[in-house]
A and B are shown apart, each in its own frame.
Chain A
Amino acid sequence: MTLADLKRGEQGIIKDVSSIHIPLKLLEMGCLPGNAVELVQVAPFADPMYLNINGTHLAIRKETAIHIIIEVVNG
C-alpha cells in the first residue's frame, strides 16, 4: 500500500520511495526507507496530508504520497 492509503492516527514504516517522483528535498527531510511515518491530520478531501516522518512534521499532497510505499505497523 502507499502512504496515501494511511488513515488518521495510523503508523507505518516506509518501504520504498520512487526516486523519479520524489524530490530530493523530501528525502532530506527524512522521507527514506526504514523510517516511521504517522498521519497526524488531514485537510478536507484528505489532501494535503499532515505527517510525522521520523520526528519531522510536514505536509505533502496526496499526489506525492502515492509514490511512497509503506507498511502499516499499527492501527
Chain B
Amino acid sequence: MNIHEYQGKALLKAHGVPVLEGVHCTTVDQALAAYDQLGSKVVAVKSQIHAGGRGKGNLYAPDTGDLVMEGGVKIAFAKDEVETYATNILGNVLVTIQTGADGKLVRNLYVEAGCDIAHEYYLAILVDRENKSVLIMASTEGGMDIEHVAETTPEKIHKISVDPNAGLLGYQKRDLGLALGLSGGAHKAFAKALSSMYEMFVSSDCSMLEINPLVRTADDGIVALDAKVSFDENAEFRHKNWDDLRDLSEEEEVEIRAKETGLSYVKLDGNIGCLVNGAGLAMATMDVIKLYGGEPANFLDVGGGANEEQVKTAFSIILEDPNVKGILVNIFGGIMRCDIIARGVIAATEALSLDVPLVVRLAGTNVDEGKAILAASTLNIHPADDLAEGAQKIVELIGGAA
C-alpha cells in the first residue's frame, strides 16, 4: 500500500525526522492561503499522486487531452505563480514515466516552504529479500534516478544491513554518514535522522521508505525533501490508521473489490479472462495463453478454498472488463474439490447469462465428478484435460491468435 508524499512527511515529522513546513491542498484557494501561511518567499507546488517521476511528468486536460503544463512539481517565486501552477495541476492528468500513458488525475497538492540546499543525497530503507534483513542504502548522488546510479557508478551507493535482533547500531549510522562525506553538525544530524527513519520503518511496518533527495542545508541541517512510503499490507491488522491514509482513488477499484471477497485480481490488457486457483498457477495460465497466441485479460486467483459464491463473484469481475471475449477456468483441486467448482461455474454462467466462450480445465480432487457435472449441463462449456489444451481451445474459440 502506497501513501502520498504529504502523508509520508507527516509520518516522518511525527517520528522526529526533519521536514520542511508544508500544507496539503485540494483547491487553488487553499494553495494561495498556504502560500500566505508558510511565509516563505519560494515554495514548491507539488502534484500528489502514487507514482514517481512527477517532476519530469506532463499535465494534460482530462477532456481534451491537450498539454497544460510541463512538469508536475514547480517552484513558485511569487503568489501569482502559485495560482498558475495550482490551477494547471489540480483536476488535470499527470503522465509520468511510472503512470503509463493514461496518467493519473491529480486531486491533491502539496505546497511546501523552500530551503537553502547545500547538497542532495539519496536514502532508502527496504527489506532485502536476498539477505532476509532490513537494508539501508545511501548515496551522494541524490535527486537522480537511483537505478541509473546503481548501473553507472555502483561504488557511489553505500549499503548497510541491519541485524533484526540487534537493531540499527551507532557505528553503522556513523559509518554511513562518513561514507556520504558528512562531518560535524551535518554528520550528527544525519545519524539522528537515520535513527528516526529506521524506527519509523519498523514501527510502521514499511516495505519501502525512500527519501530522494535527502538534503544537507546551508546551515548543516538534514532535511527530507521528498518521501516515498509503502506499507507491507500483511501488517494491516496492527495499523488501524492505514484506513485513513489509504487513497482509494489511487487504487484500482475492481482490485479492491476483489480483495474484499478474498480474490486476488489484477487487470491486464488482453481479451481472455482467466479464473484459477493458486497464484503460481494463475500466472502460468496467463503465460500459456500467451504462448498459444492469446492475450490474458487478467490475473485472478480464487485461493485455496473458494466457494460457489466466490466463483460467481470472480466471473462477474472478469466480465466487467469489456475486452473479455472468452474465459479460461483452470483449477487444480487440492483442498478445493472439482465438483464444487463445477457447480459454481454452472451457477455463475446461468446467473450471469454468460455469452462468451468458456473453457474449463479441471484436475485433482474429485475431477471425475466435476467433469460429469459439466458434461451433463446444457450450457456451452468446453472441457479441457490439461492447461495447454485449455489455452489452445480458448484462443481458437475467440477467433484465433491475436
Do A and B associate with each other? no
Which B residues contact A (CB, under 8 angstroms)? Answer: none
